[in-house]
Structure 1
Amino acid sequence: MTDYPHLLAPLDLGFTTLKNRVLMGSMHTGLEETKDWNRVAEFYAARARGEVGLMVTGGIGPNLEGSVLPGAAMMVGQEDVDNHSVITKRVHDAGGKIAMQILHAGRYAYGPKCVAPSAVKSPISPFPPAALDDEGIEKQIGDIVACAQRAQQAGYDGVEIMGSEGYFLNQFLVTHTNKRDDDWGGSYENRMRLPIEVVRRAREAVGTDFIIIYRLSMIDLVPNGSTHEEVVQLAQEIEKAGATIINTGIGWHEARIPTIATSVPRAAFAWVTKKLMGKVSIPVITSNRINTPEVAEDVLATGCADMVSMARPMLADADFVTKAMTGKSSQIAPCIACNQACLDHTFSGKISSCLVNPQACYETELLITPAQTQKSIAIVGAGPAGLSTAMTAAGRGHQVTLFDRASEIGGQLNMAKQVPGKEEFWGLVDWYRAMIAELGITVELGREVSADDLQGFDEVIIATGVVPRDPEIPGQDAAHVVNYIDVLRGKVTVGPRVAIIGAGGIGFDVAEFLVHEGISPTESLPDWMREWGVADPAAHRSGLAPEGPQPEPPARQVTLLQRKAEKPGRRLGKTTGWIHRAALAMKDVKMIGGVNYERIEAGGIVVSHGEARENPTLIDADTIVLCAGQLSDRSLADALETRGAKCHVIGGADVATELDAKRAINQGTRLAAEL
């Protein structure tokens, strides 16, 4: 008996059967671009060994003009076929199935040769596309079909044809990007002709016993996007053309509505997929923010889809499915949808990985093997750095004792999880707690450790984190001045008007915390949809509410201040910073950069501007919150070094810039892998 009968049920496709209803959705990791095919193969093979039903690769270009960026992976010749054969053989040897995603970027291609239905420039690319003529369209069709044939030759079990997220095929569908008046434009029948033709010809080329997934945009979230009726019409024609499965795409990349960030409710768009159920006879996959077996099971049990796509959860834990099958769901490393090591890396030209699992995409480099010599290891600090070190070291066979002065594990994660939109951090702390129990790690909480307490251990690791930086503002000792730690821990009363000193990540988190009251929109899908202006595409074209975003009024009047003379929030995450800025703007938060903090008074804080300290102004505030950065807490490390005792210093105790859990976890994991 399983807790997940729907999720773990096989899916019969006629000519082949998938072992369960889990699809590892496509992610552009940058691995294919390394040309290290052993490394690429091992990444996918690890997930195949973890019992994923079907995997889809990152997007592979069918030609140069359709490639997402210069140097991106393509499938255009025999050498590519031979290289990809390394992947498919490794996956098949591991008992898995894998499809290759064919991604033609259209006007999203980051290069001067990009093409599109019409010469309409994308707002997220500096390159204007060339409008294709009939001959050019035929070339694109031929290249996509040839790409599918090469994927079949390389041993893939199928292909996913990318027709969503605002890429090439999606661009033909909507008047937002298709201004043509020929047989490829105008009426919807003409606009949907290209994706249908691509699927039809691909099916003819690869035969019947080959999976063709079509990724269909079910809610565009951009002006002049598709209606639900058009989505259904396209899906039915795609089925007739020969698709095996239809996968859900949500939103274009240029949409100003978040779709996969941590502040998006879990399974936030499963209802969109459900609207297609029963309208086609082939299996339908749903996607976006499905990150636990419980959520996935509920989605399937309530008839939202036949299969679920979970992409980033497979970065967080390659053994996600195996653990669900064997009653170990509490040990699944959770995807917290932070984007910090996956999408932020992708859009920065780096190899993707995972904040909670630094081994993701580094399977051949970051080797975690049993220790040859068992050691006794003391770790001081049970935040992300200390916890990741403890887990990795204990997993290798070391005897680990974890100390923390606090009464619970988690460190600053326990503050982050209080912020509306960061509820996933509760699950992260719960996972650490489960793994501590599973690995038999000794934990001593509520204990202030001295250098004397650490004698006798073979290795000592200091992960004591950070302490708030003192901004040294005249008047900061006043009763209405508080620090961010006490605010997030609920230890102080905050007035109706607030000035926050510091507009880094913590300042933004504190602002989010203070402008919300009651249930977080992340925990209430109707509230979240109203806040961001998402509507039923059956009622409103493209799923955009005509009245636009309608957030709840802010619980407090908040002003964010920073010394740097730049746009507040500019240094936030590459793919999530805009969400935080937009969310606070909707709550009327004032954001002011380039200020000097002159003095704090009873009625607020006086700031001036520029090096000349011009235009002193009183910012009215009943409460002033200090978020002016952090300093490393190195007191214990310094005491040990004074004695000549060796220790390793990691995490915030090593580098205090912001609160970087990604760096802390990676650093701790890599250290423990070497001990």
Structure 2
Amino acid sequence: MAAYPHLFLPLKVGSHFLKNRIVMAPVETGLEKQDYFDPRVVEFYEERARGDGPGLFILGNGVVHETGLRNLKDPVLTAGLLNNAVRLTSVIHESGSKVLLQLQHHGAGADHMFAVSASRFRNRDTGRTLHRAPGLLVSHLISQYSLFAYHAILHGEFDGVEIYGGRLSLPNVFSSRLFNRRHDKWGLQARTLFAVELVRRIRSFVGPAPIISYRLSLLDLHAGGSEWHDLLAFAQALHYEGVNLFSFDIGFTPNSVPVNSDLTPAGVWVPFMEKFSREIKVPVIFGHRMPGPDRLDDILQNNITSLVEIGRPLIADARWVEHVHTGKPVRPCTLCPHGCTRPDRREGREMLACIADPYVLRRSHKHPGGLDILVVGGGPAGMAAAREGALRGHKITLVDEGPELGGLYRLCAKIQGRSSIAELLKVQERELVELGVEIIRNTRATAQWIEDNYSGSRILLATGKESCMPDIPGIDTPNVLSLEDLLQGRVPVGHRVAVIGSGNVAVDVTRHLCTHDLKAHDEWCCAWGIGDPAEHIGGTLGVIPHLNPAPRKVYLINETNETTEELFAHERRLYEVQWLRMHGVNIFDEANVEQIDSHSVRVSCEGEEGSTILRVDHIVVVGDREANAELQNELTELGIPFEAAGSMKFKAPFGTAGEATLDGIYVLQALEKRSL
């Protein structure tokens, strides 16, 4: 019997048969501003569709009008663009899969001066005041949706379209009693008319055969959200007008509740989707922070007309579907806090990037090889450089002073919610061995050792950064710990702890110290104030959530000029700060640590008079790190040439593992270019 039989059962949606129940979620590659169907994007989807690929792909970023752009630098759909889509849809069809184009209008979530909504209001996240869409524009937008749906199916050879109706999209703000305060034909009791008319018009343009999917806001997570019976009636009306597939979005804004983060237990949204599925006799797509294949198969066994949507796992492992089907190990997604896009210095823009698969949109090509390369340091940059060199045909030796590869990144696997890092490092290490990389452990490389053993090799240093203590009176007291001291468990940590640092790592460490790992569905939902949408409007309990007492009293001391809240607001992750405050963490922003002793920390804050004395058992210093440059200096003195890669080059105390990985690849390629 095949592994996970229900995942790989075919399903009929409308007049189309899907070869399995797996859907690839829309992905932003970062290349849309240049060319929606760039050859690298085509290759990206071709690799995932090949063989046992998902039965259905949904392509995002199909913005139908200039007012609906997220920002004005983004592209808008044109008939010419859709004509070029054939080269992408054809490679997906060759594998027997189907593909939909997601049509979008970002509505109240747009961040530019021409943004429109159902009614005039101010978006606190963007700081923009949205214009009320005039009636003529509303009718024109419906025509634009319909026209591009027609072009996508006729000329782009898509199998259908998905209407994005989640979060602050135009269809959702028109359907919402919170945002739609109009008194014309599009308001009052006819709030849902915009979406219903949209589906009716699209179906009249494209005919009965193509799939029309609607991405619905299942839980608004706001007291002004939709009532459950209204949502079901709305879905029935959409189905009557031609929708034959539903998918879901959660929340008006990603800032308020962690929908897809490492804070979110896998499968936590499934019961709400099952509740909807039982009421609406139309295939639905279960998505958002989905569990592993075992539980996915169980979900589909209990919901025989449903599908499951996979996004990040298919970025991390292009052959995820094939590996699951054949029982091979998959390369896990580590749920990076920054998401799946980050600045690429070579491209000069934000692009899709993944530490699990650094070759996303950046394929490596085998070269004649012939170089002997010694990589010193087994962190993300060193491992990436070693893998890249081996793929390009070079003889690679990787040396690390520890018993296990991964560096500081491996230590981060001990932080709550980051256990997948250890799984990823295990997969990456196995790949290095399969590629023929010689790995030398428990060896501290010195310049003399390199000269004695690898005098003819090219040298690439990826020795990372190490903790250093700031110049604070009392910093040398025994109760001051480095990040390594904490994560390696060198010292039992007391009940009152101060964390000195800022950014993701400091917040992760603070969370690790002050919170319990909430895995049970009911416990997690209660902690975030989420309830049954059939009983609570918008899925919000409307009461102060119940939390178990924090295991420690923690103080977060941020010495930068940017407040912790401002930092996480930029990344749409305010829920991180909210979670800390819910657990009693006191945050001192724009702070100056004046004095440390064995029982306290004295802190002063910008704009506040006097100092605050915090009684603590331990102080964890997270913010200060410096390049591990000892070997670099030794090699320079002996005149041995080398290349540096990874976080040892970064100005910031912590570069992300993804940035270090890409830098390791790019430096290896540059080293090869100069040597051959």
Q: Which secondary structure state, in structure 2, belongs to the residue aligned with residue 377 of structure 1?
A: strand
Provide the residue aligned with 1:99 in structure 2: 100
Q: Does 1:584 align with 2:589?
A: no
Cα distance change on mapping 1:566 and 1:439 into 2, 3 Å: same
CA distance in 2, matches of 1:275, 1:575: 32
Task: Give the CA deviation at 1:302.
Answer: 4.1
Query: 2: distance between equivalents of 1:615 and 1:229?
Result: 56
Distance 1:304 1:11 in 2: 9
Moved more, 193-202 or 36-45: 36-45
Measured after TM superposition, the shift of residue 204 of structure 1 is 1.8
> Within 2, Cα distance between the matches of 1:217 and 1:384?
38
CA pair 550-392 structure 1, distance change in 2 beyond 3 A: farther
* Equivalent position of 1:137 in the other structure: 138
In structure 2, what is the equivalent of residue 113 of structure 1?
114
What are the Cα deviations for residues 379-428 of structure 1, in whole angstroms up to 9, with x where unaligned?
A: 22222112222233333443333322222222212322222233332332
Matches within 5 A, 1:136-155: 136-153=137-154, 154-155=156-157
Q: What is the identity, as a one-letter code, of the residue corresponding to 1:31?
A: L
Instruction: Give 1:577 deviation, angstroms.
Output: 4.3
- Contact 1:172-1:185 at 8 Å conserved across structures: yes
Q: Structure 2: 5+ residue runs without aligned partners?
A: none
1:27-67 per-residue CA deviation (whole Å, 9 max, x = no partner) reads 33332221373333333333322622221112212222223
* Alpha-carbon distance in 2 for matches of 1:531, 1:426: 28
Q: Aligned match of 1:633 in 628, 632, 637?
A: 628
2:428 match: 432
**How far apart are 1:474 and its partner, in Å?**
2.2
Deviations 1:113-163 (A, max 9, x none): 332222233333333333345433322221211111111122112111111
2:26 aligned residue: 26
Q: Secondary structure at the match of 2:101?
A: strand
For 2:336, the equivalent position in structure 1 comes to: 338
Give 1:572 deviation, angstroms.
Answer: 5.3
Deviation at 1:232, TM superposition (A): 2.3
Q: d(CA) in 1 for partners of 2:613 and 2:50?
A: 62
Aligned ranges for residues 546-561 of structure 1 at < 5 Å? 546-561=542-557
* Alignment equivalent of 1:159, drawn from 161, 168, 171: 161
Counterpart mapping for 1:112-511 below 5 A: 112-153=113-154, 154-187=156-189, 190-253=190-253, 256-290=256-290, 292-303=292-303, 306-328=306-328, 330=329, 332-340=330-338, 342=340, 350-360=350-360, 362=361, 366-454=362-450, 455-456=453-454, 458-511=457-510
Greater shift, 32-41 or 507-516, is seen at 32-41
Question: CA deviation digits over 1:254-285, x for unaligned, max 9?
Answer: 65111112221112212221112232333110
Q: Report the CA distance between 1:292 and its aligned residue.
A: 4.3
| Structure 1 residues 397 and 191, CA gap change in structure 2 (3 angstroms) | same
1:14 Cα deviation after fit: 5.2
Contact 1:475 1:601 in 2 (8 A): yes
Partner of 2:610: 615
Q: CA contact under 8 A between 2:255 and 2:572: conserved in structure 1? A: no
* Identity of matched residues, %: 28
Letter in 1 for 2:628: D
The ranges of structure 1 where at least 4 consecutive aligned residues each deviate by more than 6 angstroms after the TM superposition are none
For the Cα contact (< 8 Å) 2:18–2:97, is it kept in 1?
Answer: no
Aligned to 1:277, the other structure's residue is in SS state helix
349-358 or 212-221, which moves further after superposition? 349-358
- The 8 Å contact of residues 497 and 618 in structure 2, kept in 1 or not, is answered as yes
Quote the offset at 1:167 in angstroms.
0.9
One of 537, 540, 548 as aligned partner of 2:536: 540
- 1:84-109 CA distance string (max 9 Å, x none): 33433444456543211100122222
CA distance in 2, matches of 1:81, 1:137: 23
Aligned counterparts of 2:404 and 2:572: Cα–Cα separation in 1: 29
RMSD, matched Cα: 2.7
Is this contact kept in 1: 2:67–2:114, CA < 8 A?
yes
Query: What CA distance in whole angstroms lies between the structure 2 residues aligned with 1:669 and 1:484?
Result: 27
Q: CA offsets per residue over residues 494-539 of structure 1, 9 Å max, x none? A: 222222222333322221121124xx12x33333212211111112
The more displaced of 106-115 and 299-308 is: 299-308
Greater CA drift, 120-129 or 136-145 = 120-129
* Length-normalised TM-score, structure 2: 0.90
Shift of 1:604: 0.7
* Counterpart check, 1:43 vs 2:44: yes
CA contact (8 A) 1:340 1:355 kept: no
Q: Is the alpha carbon distance of 1:14 and 1:191 closer, same or farther for their aligned partners in structure 2, counting shifts above 3 Å?
A: closer
Cα distance change of structure 1 residues 52 and 105 upon mapping to structure 2, 3 Å threshold: same
Q: Distance in 1 between matches of 2:114 and 2:650?
A: 43
Aligned residue pairs, count: 661
SS of match in other structure, 1:46:
helix
Q: Contact conserved, 1:367 with 1:673, CA < 8 A, in 2?
A: no
Cα distance in 1 for residues equivalent to 2:559 and 2:273: 46
Residues 1:669 and 1:148: Cα distance change in structure 2 (over 3 Å): same
Preserved CA contact (<8 Å) 1:123 1:254:
no
Whether 1:82 aligns to 2:83 is yes
Distance change (3 Å), C-alpha of 1:219 and 1:616: closer
Alpha-carbon distance, 1:345 to partner: 6.2
TM-score, with normalisation over the residues of structure 1? 0.91
Q: Distance in 2 between matches of 1:21 and 1:171?
A: 30
Deviations 1:149-186 (A, max 9, x none): 11112211211111112311111222111123444333
Aligned residue type for 1:158: G
Question: Deviation digits for residues 540-566 of structure 1, max 9, x if unmatched?
Answer: 111111214433322212122233343
Once the two structures are superposed, residues 312-337 of structure 1 have per-residue CA deviations (whole angstroms, 9 ceiling, x without a partner) of 22322322222223332x2x332222
Q: d(CA) in 2 for partners of 1:107 and 1:304?
A: 36
**Preserved CA contact (<8 Å) 1:630 1:656:** no
**Amino acid corresponding to residue 129 of structure 1 in structure 2:** L
Greater mean deviation of Cα atoms: 560-569 or 404-413 = 560-569
Task: Report how far residue 467 of structure 1 moved.
Answer: 0.9
For 2:350, what is the secondary structure of its paired residue? coil
